[in-house]
Amino acid sequence: MLSDNKANYNFDYFHPNKNTNIPIETKQQWNPYMNNEGSVMALAGKDFVIAAADKRLSSGYSIISRNASKLYRLTDTAILASSGMYADIVALRKYLKARIEIYKTTNKKEPSLFSVAQLLSVALYQRRFFPYYAFNVLCGQSEDGEFLCYSYDAVGSFEKFPYGCQGSGMQLIAPVFDKIYDKNPNINLNDAKNLMLEIMNGVAQRDIYTGDAVELMILKADGEFLIEEQQLRHD
């Protein structure tokens, strides 16, 4: 039988507008991460791969550097493009380079592109509880001569694709790649280079975190490696 007596609960103490004499101390929470923004991308063709990135580092509405490279050549056949927190990007590069040097000393050869891709995935995943704040695109030439790109999230998940992009301009770059590559999957080197320069110029006009200069790293099927740079807007 149910009782007609109603419990007398008082929720006034928990009311957010109740006037209490307890002082409320507000503190600025410490954040170990800073996103230095910027845009990176890569495109693989039949006999080449191109990685491109702007050279601006930002913090909020301030420009920290106008000459910071977001591209790094890990091996003769692998190029890493990274956006995010630049300190973590540099730390990740140093770790990967050290592991690659150990591999070369032990096996008397350079690791393949897929081995580097797997190494990067494991390096990111093992730091999953305090991740590298770096968003990466790895590109290069595989052992069978195919040119590939691998796109990563912050904890090591990755996928193979003919192109990839990361950073503050990613939402602007990806639709252009989707459209152009669907129309012309056999794009040649000159057209691909002009396309990436045009995309980066367009992103720089619309994204305040992308600008100053664009750096290109080009790897060809004959092993030739080129580094080029062109200016973007400086405002």
Mean pLDDT of 141-163: 95
201 contacts 191 by C-beta, under 8 angstroms: no
- Domains in the chain with CATH codes: 33-231 (3.60.20.10)
DSSP character at residue 148:
E
At 64, list the tokens.
């920290």
pLDDT at 1: 47
DSSP secondary structure string, 49-61?
A: EEEEEE--EEETT
Q: How many CA atoms, within 13 angstroms, populate the side-chain half-sphere of residue 76?
A: 11
Predicted confidence (pLDDT) at residue 235 exceeds the cutoff of 90: no
Mean pLDDT of 10-18: 53
Amino acid (one-letter) located at 68: A
- Strands 62-65, 71-75: pairing kind: unpaired
pLDDT at 215: 98
Average pLDDT taken over every residue of the chain: 91
Predicted confidence (pLDDT) at residue 154 exceeds the cutoff of 80: yes
Question: What is the signed CA dihedral for 85, 90, 95, 100, rounded to 10 degrees?
Answer: 120
Predicted confidence (pLDDT) at residue 10 exceeds the cutoff of 90: no
Q: What is the pLDDT of residues 17-67, one digit of tens each?
A: 555 565 566 667 888 999 999 999 999 999 999 999 999 999 999 999 999
The span from the CA of 192 to the CA of 216, in Å, is: 11
pLDDT at 221: 95
Q: What is the pLDDT of residues 158-213, one digit of tens each?
A: 999 999 999 999 999 999 999 998 899 999 999 999 999 999 999 999 999 999 99
Sign for the CA dihedral angle at 132, 118, 108, 162 comes to: negative
- Strands 48-54, 39-44: pairing kind: antiparallel
pLDDT at 28: 72
